[in-house]
Structure 1
């Protein structure tokens, strides 16, 4: 029996459609859709251990493995650090691009200190049956708002952080004068969203910083920052933390310089101890040669 050509063509096309339906082209081409590789808990621990071993001694902070949905913004809020800090520590050029399972260094945020309270002058304390009169050092009653704004060349400026920030550029060098010792040293500004993160510029600058503090400490100290010729009241901490970009200054990290109205990265709040030191620095009388 001879079949018509049209019928044969229809049967052939129907057969091809059945084959395509049952066996998609991806089967023949060995193509599979891309998929994300997610670490198991054990694999994540191994990845963290490997990253910690790699960065051991190079920086202070903890290791975090990026998960689905993470962004530098969400991680900065979670760990109390800035996006610029995370990007700098991890050498990230595009802050919008991080990868699942990427090992990130999370720098240690600056701890917030509670102000120490002093008893008022003339307060009586009892100790072993003896009466003791407590006399505290005199405290200036002039508030920061009452401090007259100095003009350039005639003393120390009380300049708000939002104005100071406009003067600072990455890798810019400026000078700090410790109010209590008159010792001077240079620092390099790295970055700063809420305050200025800096590093001593040379081993000599690190040595002077160590002389000022005696030992590394979170203690706030009144300093005067000389930036572009402007003398600005500031506050300093002397504890190395986070990463370092200058590797030949004998200083394992960075330190923080606060100004009027600046804030702590961990909390986003103004630190009362820093502001007290800024106020103290604003009354500093610069030597004639400074």
Structure 2
């Protein structure tokens, strides 16, 4: 059973720690059995030791206390039970059981192990999507319905797994099968063993760091109390140049044990989280141990609709990392208004304006009708140096700064030459045009004529310098006449995609990162 709703550690006067387990207050029947049934006590100890191995492998914990309704229902000394303390849970030869860790969700596990949420729920007889830290799950690769002629041996060959694994996953005591019997076919996991409690607290450990805008080897060396040479050696780097999104291994020899006071049962929360495909407010709240209301409050959300790439504030502490926020204003329809003209006026995509008001492209507007207008506040980000640009995500930031109709100054990073452009259209990236013949001639000089080759550029708009990538090959529709070119060209920002297939263009992204100084 997994009925602990939370836990914490408290240090006693001897320097050791007590593990406090808080039971669900509704478990009155369980509390009565706690003192009379040894099996209940054993179950508690199994869960406690599993928790210790997963979360606190380097801390000396000597006592487990079970609390219900504010009262200590039982005190279980770990040191007195040597047989159990040395073997935290019953071991098997299988390696298809997964122990739930903080932040795990069914959706995340399904993606991690290449299965589905429904298969995991079916294999483990789960009635809800809620998981408990330390909970053991079978990760299924399939649920097989037994057919005539099936044997455990034939199924083991079919699914490339051992007979014993199938038997253990299905708790079978014999090899006899029945027609239409449902069998769990477990996936074999490669999960690193968790260190035992007795291991030293001062052993060297490593952490990983994903490079973001502004990171340098020097700044990372200071942040993690190491040296540039150590970072380069550990990551086999031949130069000091870092790439956005690059994952670095950071050496650390610090002990994980705290020196005094209580230990929070929740790991430190990140400042922000970037929304990915499949996310919703509930799954994100579950991932970080928050409530949906807390997420809404911290991000000033007025709806539960999320966008891929949207950055959400997770921690409730003050942070130096600026994030975008959205508020709403109201527009009363006047004669001549259209969804397209209003999207241009307020600098938001037409699709977003339609969605905010539950409209479609065929919806009719009426004079006096009130529309909700999303207003995006895009804070200024730090840059690597004055000569580099802000690294803004196209979908959640850049398209709201360099909006359709905006005029900007473009500076080529390599040559330092500048010219003016206007964003005239574009949803996946900024389709733009030069303003004058002089601007067009400057661009031709930089690119050596018309070219699809992307170059790193700085786009200056409304006093902000943005990192971007531009190619200069005018094509298709145009809105500015007499500027010396026919058609528009492409300006990409971080996360921009192609119109033709909606996929990122790696050659442009390299130049964006170069303009931001992170490549």
Q: Shorter-chain TM-score: which interval?
A: 0.3 to 0.5
Length-normalised TM-score, structure 1 = 0.47
* Higher normalized contact order (CA 8 Å, seq sep 6+, divided by chain length): 1
TM-score, normalised with respect to structure 2 = 0.27
